[in-house]
Amino acid sequence: MIMKPVYFKDWIIDWHWGVRIALLLMLLSGLVQLGMFVLTQNYMVGYLGAQPEDIQFGVMATYAGIITVIPVQFRFFRYFDTRGYLLVSTMLAIMLNCICIHCQDINLFLVIRFLQGILTGNVLVFTLLLIFSRLPSERVKTIAPAVFYGAILSNTVVIGLVAGVVVESADWKVTYDYLILFQLLTLMMMLLMLRQSSGHRRYPLYQIDWGGMVLFACGMLALAYTLIYGSRYYWFADPRIRCSTFATVIAALLFLYRQHIVKRPVIHPAVFKSRNFVIGICLLAIYYGSKDSVNLIYNYAGGVLKWSTLQVIILSLCNIAGMVMLLVFAIRLMLVKRITIKVLLVTGFGLMAAFNVWMSFLLTPDLSFTNLLLPVFIQGAASGLLFVPLMIFVLSSAPAYTGATGLVIAAFTRFTSTLNSFAGFYNLQLYFNQYFKEGFLGYLTSDNQNTIVRLNGYRALYASKGFTSDQASGLANAAVWQNLTQQSQLLTNRAVFMVFAIMLFAVAIVMLVIPAIGKTAIYWKRMVMPFKEEQKRELSLPTVYLIKEKV
């Protein structure tokens, strides 16, 4: 008889809340690597002398490291002792954070970010599998993704609340000291709560597609480089973008070919034969892409309204509150089977569309916290209704024999959506910003009375402050240009919100209409089938019999 593995020590194994809190802290110890870096990226630009694109590429390198190691983690979990594996991964993560504090070379820093992604993936997947081991089998597919992905969505805000306070009162590198202390805390928890050996049966590490994992990582990094740096280097006019694009295509082709010839592929091609899986991935990509539009609000609050980092984080806490409340509500309904996934998805996409419509009309240069509170809360509520049902739909639609392929593709979808936030949003805003600026410039003429009045008003204001006539004129022109830039950005944000609103409303309507059309088609098919069967039966009867019937 094979004994079930036991991962936790006797003193804590029956203390359910203690185990839950410890596992959540272990999840955060991995996720904090990403969340804290996103919040301190502006400080790192000044410290490393890097460009904003370099920091964005550092974020994507971390994502690439996480996705690369996900497929092999499930094999490692059945081979290595859990405690030892987590301890080694955490200690290596602490060592890399110590190197980051003193790193001043951007190229070395990007390599470290990729390695940190690998170690983050180690901790996250092993902790997720420990959560699986604590849940009844019928609740694993519902609760585990909720905890895991809820932590992913909220970690930036939770960690940012601490990082924001630290950065406001001390040097930004002090955040690394707090991160290392937090990781040391989780290291002690692992030693105290996990058994040295879980007693599981070891499965040998054979037929692992290491080559496929390397090609996958190279392809992701090359794709990220192309999309992030493309606009900066004028796309294919620069040899670096041509080389990265060529590398992306070659890596993708070699990877796909390898997946067809190896016995245990990283991504099982058969997963795409499931229609529901493909639909789920498309919906997940739409959700991820539209969810990040809330970042426009945070950028607006910090850039236009001049809020501090701490104030922006407090606003984002309202978003997290909405997400957590509706996430718990959705899970409860799914566990008691009182609501279908379709209803949750339609409601969630509808709320997300309503948020984007609201913001497309609400944005002005003088909004207060109370003006933004409700729409930001609604956006979080929409995420709470959408995320777990979407993940359950995607993972349950993948055939069982494809292994972790569904999880890998879902993570890659997040990777491409984050790229869209960095590169796609930037280019979309670039287009609209240019469009609105050109429209405004048509009115900034010496014949336009509004322009004349505004310039004269600014000249008088600066002249009253003691500036000379020439200085007042220059400052007045600069003030008008600043107002034009601000208005162009606000109109750009409105246009982006409206684009997402139209797309999300279309998705919600399609999800309502397509099933109804399918049911109507099935109904008419059932109505027509008896008539056709009768015709076939009559045509198959002997001619003599038909003549007798007519007589």
End-to-end CA distance of the chain: 77
Distance of CA 279 to the CA centre of its chain: 18
Confidence of residue 551 (pLDDT cuts 50, 70, 90): very low
* Distance between CA atoms of residues 496 and 430, nearest Å: 11
pLDDT at 548: 45
* Distance between CA atoms of residues 361 and 358, nearest Å: 6
From residue 119, give the alpha-carbon distance in Å to each of 27, 31, 69, 299: 12, 11, 9, 30
Q: What is the pLDDT of residues 287-334, one digit of tens each?
A: 887 887 787 887 777 777 777 767 777 787 788 888 878 887 877 777
* Distance between CA atoms of residues 502 and 522, nearest Å: 30
Q: What tokens does 530 get?
A: 């008896």
pLDDT at 99: 84
Do 331 and 392 form a contact (C-beta atoms < 8 A)? no
* Distance between CA atoms of residues 350 and 342, nearest Å: 12
Mean pLDDT calculated for residue range 410-416:
81
Torsion of CA 142, 148, 154, 160, to 10 degrees: 170
Q: What is the pLDDT of residues 51-83, one digit of tens each?
A: 777 777 888 888 888 888 888 887 787 778 888
* Distance between CA atoms of residues 323 and 116, nearest Å: 28
Q: What is the pLDDT of residues 417-456, one digit of tens each?
A: 778 777 767 777 777 777 776 676 666 666 666 777 777 7
The pTM for the full model equals 0.77
* Distance between CA atoms of residues 384 and 295, nearest Å: 17
Domain boundaries, the chain: 1-201, 436-512
Mean pLDDT lowest for which of 82-86, 108-112, 264-268? 264-268
Look at residue 546 and tell me whether its pLDDT is greater than 50. no
Q: What is the pLDDT of residues 461-486, one digit of tens each?
A: 777 777 777 777 777 777 777 777 77
Q: What tokens does 254 get?
A: 């070699």
Q: What is the pLDDT of residues 103-133, one digit of tens each?
A: 777 788 888 888 888 888 888 888 877 877 7
Residue 194 is classified by DSSP as B
1-201 fold:
Growth Hormone; Chain: A; (1.20.1250)
Most confident of 17-26, 179-188, 515-524, 539-548: 179-188
pLDDT at 116: 85
Mean pLDDT lowest for which of 40-54, 74-88, 264-278, 338-352? 40-54
3-state secondary structure of 449: helix
* Distance between CA atoms of residues 376 and 369, nearest Å: 10
Residue 339 is classified by DSSP as S
β strands within 18-163, DSSP E: none
Mean pLDDT calculated for residue range 245-257:
89
What sign does the CA torsion over 412, 377, 323, 24 have? positive
Do 114 and 121 form a contact (C-beta atoms < 8 A)? no
Q: What is the pLDDT of residues 224-244, one digit of tens each?
A: 888 888 877 878 888 888 898
Look at residue 549 and tell me whether its pLDDT is greater than 50. no
Q: What tokens does 524 get?
A: 């008419």
